[in-house]
Amino acid sequence: MGYLYMLTAAFLWGLIGPVSRLAFAHGLTPLEVAFWRAVFGGLLFGFHAALIGRIRVAPRDLPIVLGFGPIGVALFYASFQLAVQAGGGAMAAVLLYTAPAWVAILSWSFLKEPMGPHKLTALFLTLLGVAGVSLQGGEARIHPVGIMWGLISGFTYALYYLFGKIYLQRYETPTLFAYAMPIGALSLLPLISFHRPGPMAWGAIAFLTICSTYLAYLIYYAGLQRLEATRAAVVATLEPVIATAVSYLAWGERFGPLGYLGAALVILGVLWMVQAPSAPPDSLSHAASRHREGSSEKRR
């Protein structure tokens, strides 16, 4: 069941790019898609959090949880939609999966996690893959702006790791997104010129909100409870594969040979990264102890 949950979540996430293109084709801009996804997603998560009685966030955590909205929701959702518009759903999904490389860099910088040969190899494979996708000569529309937004989406997606590392141990997923998503929507509001989309565009928004946001997160975390984190991460790498296949079937997006090689290298880098050996328990305990001591000194 754990694998089935993870496969379902990866499939739903893999449809974000192709379904977003449907919304664009029927009158919505990328920022509008990001805005409505955050608005309706926030409503669903808020209702869920209220239903399970987990709506409250401690005052000391509220600034960070609310502050996650403009970056983890507004910038992440907007950059991914803009990457889809500029380069297509397949390219956006591949560049989104530079996130593990960003996670390695951020964890090394802020969490003091070691950056050994294994992680450096994965980082090199990922960057080489991004270069391949960027320089390929297929029919997919590759533009420097699309590359930029795709890399930004990967970076902001990586921030979920740092955020979740702390706060998903304290709160339920619906609780966090019930706060972050409305703030993200408000952050996007001044940037949007609203249009009158047709029924197909609203249908695309409904699918993105209900299936690829609300249900996908819940299904993913249900799978994570039944699988080791490494196994879950490996299965989740099917997302760009699914996005590439659906984008090809629905919109005729095709990479050139270098683009497909680059996409394969990005996925290989992700697989190599999640197979990295874990730090010994003693070193983790020592690091945690140092973190607690540092926090204690700050409080003094």
Condensed to tens digits (0 to 9), the pLDDT of residues 1-25 reads 778 888 898 899 989 989 999 999 9
Q: Alpha-carbon distance 46 to 48, whole Å?
A: 5
Q: Would you place residue 257 in the very low, low, confident or very high pLDDT band (cuts 50, 70, 90)? A: confident
Binned at pLDDT 50, 70 and 90, residue 278 comes out as low
* Mean pLDDT estimate for the chain: 82
Instruction: State the pLDDT at residue 300.
Output: 40
| Statement: residue 298 has pLDDT above 50 | no
How far is C-alpha 299 from the geometric centre of its chain's CA atoms?
A: 34
Structure tokens at 105: 């860099």
Other residues' Cβ atoms within 10 Å of the Cβ of residue 167: 18
Evaluate if residue 180 carries a pLDDT over 80: yes
pLDDT band at 202; cut points 50, 70, 90: very high
Is residue 135's pLDDT more than 70?
Answer: no
pTM assigned to the model: 0.79
Which pLDDT score is estimated for 90? 79
